[in-house]
Amino acid sequence: MLLHKVSLTEMMSRIHEPGYSPETVLDPYLERYRQVEPHIHAFVPEDEAEGRLDSEKALLQRTYSGDERKPALFGIPVGIKDLLHVDGLPTRAGSQLSAELLAGAQGSLVAKLRALGAVIAGKTVTEEFAYNGPIATLNPHNTGHTPGGSSAGSAAAVAAGLCPLAVGTQTLRSVIAPASFCGVVGFKPSYGRVPLDGVLLFSPSFDTVGFFTQNLPDMEAAAALLVPDWEAPAAPMPRKPVLGIPKGVYMELMSAEVKGLFEAQITGLEQLGYEVRYVQMPWEDELIYGNAMLRFIEGELAREHEHRFAEHRAEYGLPVQEAILRGQQIPEEELEQYRTRQRELRQDLMELMEQEGIDLWVSPAQGGTAPKIEERNTGWAGMPAVWGFAGVPTVSLPAATLEGMPLGFQCIGRYGEDEELLAWARQLWPCLAGEQPLPVK
């Protein structure tokens, strides 16, 4: 079986049990890695992967020998998207450029993981510079399908039980899409909430570090450890959230099958006492289906790669080359207009939520389930991108299947209120996870 249940919170609860050591987790992990990784290719290949993990394990044992105050992630393997610098591992960002050319200092997030005792399981596969390009990773639910992009390896590794936690990044869809396709929880915090130091940037106005776990309690535990200044509500939310659904073109960005399933989910939630309001949104239709966001990110991509691209253009894949060339033609004045609109939309959404009494926006996480590999499509920007443009926090919950493939349910909160987003989602989770079966239309 390529799918395997693994719980971060269960692993964390065992750390202080008598006899616990890093081998308790890492030996079974390595055995599963040997069995499963050759079938899904979630990680960037390493010549000395097992030797490196043995060294990390030995260092942990020496550091905490006889110490009862073991850190929260002691010995737990974590996957890191190959856009983040990790001391001791090269960064290639899914590209053919040399690791020396892309080298950089390890950032505060990876340093925090290591301070918490996590073992870096390895670099996870990404599309080239998180934009586009061939990937080897396959979907653990069905290896004939994509795991989604660009955080392909992180989502696939968690779905396959190779690690209970993985780090990704999102510009337009790169956490939410693979989470939906792989049937895991994907959380994209508010823009700027998690520092981007130590990350190879794609589009600095969008880029956000995100996380993958198999379930929502695990994600809450991860966020509490890794998102700066996290303050979870002291008690469960006192009432059911009011759910908002965008009117207009946004809800047309999905297949008929997905739309029918989503409508059934909403009907079921209403029957469980959730109030749903359909709201006219403060954005232009062109922002949803036009080229504005693509022009924005390609313009910033071109600027991020300006010096490398001038000398190493031939080493870039064709899709990234073409994106950078297009981006070079976009004037800085246009990019500044987009940045201004970002800030305006963020404020507009907060005011609209207050005006309409909305606690959460909800939608499908993707317009369809994972495409087949031969379709060469790793996801659609439509459902998650506009929320990323506004910088608001989003989470994809594994909520349903269509023809045997997972589909996520996306919840979107107020900017900066990431804790409330996950707390509201905690209420929805039992309904969507089947603990309170949703009535069928």
For residue 174, indicate whether it is catalytic: yes
Q: One of 81, 180, 190, 396 is an active-site residue; which one?
A: 81
For residue 190, indicate whether it is catalytic: no
Q: One of 57, 70, 123, 150 is an active-site residue; which one?
A: 150
Q: One of 174, 180, 203, 396 is an active-site residue; which one?
A: 174
For residue 81, indicate whether it is catalytic: yes
HEC sequence for the chain: CCCCCCCHHHHHHHCCCCCCCHHHHHHHHHHHHHHHHHHHCCECCCCCHHHHHHHHHHHHHHHCCCCCCCCCCCCCEEEEECCECECCECCCCCCCCCHHHHCCCCCHHHHHHHHCCCEEEEEECCCHHHCCCCCCCCCCCCCCECCCCCCHHHHHHHHCCCCCEEEEEECCCCCHHHHHHHCCEEEECCCCCCCCCCECCCCCCCCEEEEEECCHHHHHHHHHHHCCCCCCCCCCCCCCCCEEEECCHHHHCCCHHHHHHHHHHHHHHHHCCCCEEEECCCCCHHHHHCCHHHHHHHHHHHHHCHHHHHHHHHHCCHHHHHHHHHHHCCCHHHHHHHHHHHHHHHHHHHHHHHHHCCCEEEEECCCCCCCEHHHCCCCCCHHHHHHHHHCCCEEEEEEEEECCEEEEEEEECCCCCHHHHHHHHHHHHHHHHCCCCCCCC
Distances from the Cα of 148 to the Cα of 241, 318, 425, angstroms: 30, 20, 23
> Catalytic residue numbers?
81, 150, 174
